[in-house]
Amino acid sequence: MQARGPTFAKIIERFRPQAFYGNPTRRQAFMIVELNTPAEIAELMYVLSWWLKTEPTFTPIMPPDIYAEAIVNAKKIISPQP
């Protein structure tokens, strides 16, 4: 297995995480990164899969102001039911 430190440094240098968190109760870590293209998503997925021998989970997140735009557009298709 590759040394953890140098590989981790390359990942940090390439993807410039906005934040990095670890779960103290599990072997689990979370990185907040901005991935702008499907190619960047796939690149990070392959790096993490090959390095850690596991399948990473990606969860899209967005700023709250974008939700307002999404709700307006969704209401053009269907209105929420009470």
SS3 34: coil
Number of structural domains found in the chain: 1
Inside any domain, residue 82? no
| Distance (Å, whole) CA 41 – CA 57 | 11
Inside any domain, residue 52? yes
Inside any domain, residue 29? yes
Number of H helices, E strands in the chain: 3, 2
Of the candidates 60, 72, 2, the one whose C-alpha atom is nearest the C-alpha of residue 35 is 60
**Is there a contact between 31 and 19 (Cβ–Cβ < 8 Å)?**
yes
pLDDT tens, the chain, 82 aa long? 456 789 999 999 999 999 999 999 998 889 999 999 999 999 999 999 999 998 999 999 888 889 899 999 999 999 988 8
Q: What is this structure's pTM?
A: 0.75
Inside any domain, residue 49? yes
Full domain range(s) for residue 58 = 4-75
